[in-house]
Amino acid sequence: MRHSTLLLILLLAALPNSAQQPKIVGYYPEWANATRNYHPANIPAAQLTHVNYAFATIDKDGRCALHDRKSALERPYPSAPQTPGVLFQLRLLKQKNPHLRTLISVGGWTMSAGFSDAAATERARDLFALSCVDFVTRYGFDGVDIDWEYPGGGGKDGNKTRPQDPQNFTLMLAELRRQLDMRARIDGHPYLLTIAAPAGPWATQRFELARIHPLVDWINLMAYDMANANSELTAFHAPLYASSDDPRKDAKNRSADAAVKAYVAAGVPASKLVLGVPFYGRSWTGVPATSHGLYQRHAKAADKSRETWTYKEITTLTGTPYFHPDAQAPWLYDDQRGTFVTFDNPRSLAAKADYILKEHLGGAMIWEITEDDGTLLPALSNALKPH
């Protein structure tokens, strides 16, 4: 009997990652509380495994800190007057959904300016890690997600950078891992450490991936924004595969599949890659009707102040829908206005979910959940259920 039990244990341990429930990580932006009237209670927690609260910032002393204190801690909720603020509402959401885990995401595109200094020295890294652990335990999170955009440059104009950023980033993660694990031994439960990382072809040169992946629980791969207002041609911003008719010289590198393969080739286990999908689209105007607007020169973003559109808004736009069989990506083209929109829809998300399962990836990540019209997340969640 003991031999059969041992055999069963060994067999279960040998099962591929695809036999485990894939993660579904949804970013919830702090500003959605005020600008979209979308509150933690609106989060469809049953269809998610993790919620990343975006974002905490880095203060002038190099500490992890609240960005909008009023929204995070003070804004009242008529339905729960004793628990004001988004952070307390997230705790209530977890109480009602015991399976759900939450992480504080630090940085993002607009708040990565302090990372280079916070990672530059051993003392700075120790202080930053200690402040992150304090943030997690004080506000009831289950871990930290680091979204440094980007070590060594390429992020928002004005961000401080150093040539040593990639190496310092690894050292920062190592210190975070050490302090989170130390706190876990005290508290009696583990704390998660994840990062958000870009899908561009330069990513594997900017990150010490072979040294990073043992330190983190997984990597949220930002497999979107592969085309934007600065792109010479209209194109898909989140294609699953490169398409044979894409005329761009670097087209083969601009797909989710290419990004996954690059990370795996750099030493990251597939099971530690969580594939990012967008719940928003990008658009251009002044686009000729050739090929229904695909891979065409354009005048500009469709509306410079509104280059991006939530999926909820995209469903209200005029135009003819198309789907590319190679890229497994949809687009919308309005020949009357010369407008082209690239996005993900339930069909493309089903293809990505199938890819995640077949390639034994860790799951899917969403930027971001408040942009849905109520159809994308259910489609993704249902498609990720192991067949």
Q: 330 in a domain, yes or no? A: no
Q: Supply the residues annotated as catalytic.
A: 149
Q: Looking at the domain assignment, is residue 10 inside a domain?
A: no
Six-digit token string for 93:
């959401």
271 within a domain of the structure (yes/no): yes
Q: What is the DSSP string of 284-299?
A: EES--SGGGGTT-B-S
32 in a domain, yes or no? yes
Q: List average pLDDT for each run of 10 residues in the chain, which is 387 residues long.
A: 38 42 96 90 97 98 95 79 85 96 98 98 98 97 98 94 97 98 97 95 85 98 94 97 94 95 96 98 96 94 75 96 98 96 98 98 98 98 88
If you ran DSSP here, which 8-state letter would residue 243 be given?
-
State the pairing for strand pair 300-301/308-310.
unpaired
Give the pLDDT score at 303. Answer: 62
In angstroms and rounded to an integer, the radius of gyration of the C-alpha atoms of the chain is 21
Q: Specify if 294 maps to a domain.
A: no
What CA–CA distance (Å, rounded) separates 313 from 295? 23
- Which residue range is the domain that position 269 belongs to? 16-278+343-383
pTM of the model: 0.93
Q: How many domains does the chain have?
A: 1
In a domain, 255, yes or no: yes
Is 337 within a domain? no
Picking from 369, 371, 294, 303, the residue whose alpha carbon sits closest to that of residue 326 is: 294
| Residues pairing with 350 in the sheet | none
Q: Look at residue 77 in the predicted model and tell me its pLDDT.
A: 74
Whichever domain contains 94, its CATH number is: 3.20.20.80
Indicate whether 157 belongs to any domain.
Answer: yes
Tokens of 384: 């990720």
> What does the pLDDT read at residue 78?
65
